Structure 1
Amino acid sequence: MYYSAQHSSPVGTLTLASDGSSLVGLWLQGQKYFGGTVAQAMAESPRLPVFNAAKEWLDKYFSGQKPAIAELPLAPYGSEFRRAVWEILCSIPYGEVITYGEIAKEMAARMHRAHMSAQAVGGAVGHNPISIIIPCHRVVGSNGSLTGYAGGIEKKIRLLEHEGADLSKLVLPAKGTAL
């Protein structure tokens, strides 16, 4: 059984999902792949302790604090590869960005391979089921393009600005589905 709750934020209404003890999803309104990792209907249950903890975490984050991801019980559903990529995302410091290529190099090293596709990493980043908390908004293209955010480029920019990221070297993608 899965449960859901709503939470208002500066980037719009957020939908949280839980298996009853851990957070399994957090999606922005209108986000691509919304609810994609939860195969069953969710029962509204806004008072679950995990939702209270997640809402408190989000309130701290949006008030300018830097709460630790480890404060929350997270259980994102995905393949071993995707979970490894999401683990790397959790290590990106507030206000900093990393490229898909840099994550691909780290994944290649972890998997004892000579090379890893940045596109495969992009697929894993794009399907991150716990937006904001697992900070996929901190990933950019190798040329500094702000491409690839399932929640939309404008929300990615707002989150990076909120964190104090230096956006001066980052650019909007010229075309693509991320716009």
Structure 2
Amino acid sequence: MPTESTPSSSDPALATYDSPIGRLTLAARGGALVGLWVAGQRFFGSPYGIDEASARSALDLTSPDSREAVLAEAGWDEADARALGTAVAWLDGYFAGEDASPTTIPLAPEGTDFQR
């Protein structure tokens, strides 16, 4: 069983999303969502070493009207931008009360078995 919880490759692409439960920070790498944190939560940004101060400078994907342009200009890997776009579109539906299936979001959680 793995005990190492620090990811081995490059830093993830970060974005924020203002939700009814607070500001969310999303992280994508390798074309999949690898993390999602609520502002103020314990272990925010773990296991990536992301703190809330650096997350505040992440691109805001809250507005569906500007989301496509923000993703196109972000300079992220195209697959990471797609993963973040899919995740925030799912969040839009979820918080609007739609029956949103999370199976549409590409996920690749990292960490120990317990953390995943």
Give the TM-score range, shorter chain: 0.5 to 0.7
> Counterparts of 1:13 and 1:82 in 2: how far apart (Å)?
21
Query: 1:60 aligned to 76, 93, 98, which one?
Result: 93
**Secondary structure of the equivalent of 2:36?**
strand
The superposition leaves residues 7-30 of structure 1 with CA deviations (integer Å, 9 ceiling, x where unpaired) of 111111111011141101111111
Mark the structure with the bigger radius of gyration: 1
List alignment gaps of at least 5 residues for structure 1: 84-179
Structure with larger RCO (C-alpha < 8 A, sep 6+): 2
The superposition leaves residues 21-55 of structure 1 with CA deviations (integer Å, 9 ceiling, x where unpaired) of 11011111111110012147889466111111111
Equivalent position amino acid for 2:21 in 1: V
Query: 1:27 aligned to 31, 37, 50, which one?
Result: 37
Q: What is the TM-score of this pair, normalised by structure 2?
A: 0.62
Would you tell me which structure has more strand in proportion to its own residues?
2
CA RMSD of aligned residues (A): 2.3
Answer whether contact 1:3 1:20 (CA < 8 A) is retained.
Answer: no
**How far does residue 66 in structure 1 lie from its aligned partner after superposition?**
2.3
Query: 1:10 aligned to 14, 20, 24, which one?
Result: 20
2:84 alignment partner in structure 1: 51
Answer whether contact 1:15 1:28 (CA < 8 A) is retained.
Answer: yes
Q: What is the TM-score of this pair, normalised by structure 1?
A: 0.41
> Counterparts of 2:33 and 2:23 in 1: how far apart (Å)?
17
Identity, in percent, stands at 39
Q: 1:82 to 1:31 in 2, by over 3 A?
A: closer
The count of aligned residue pairs is 83
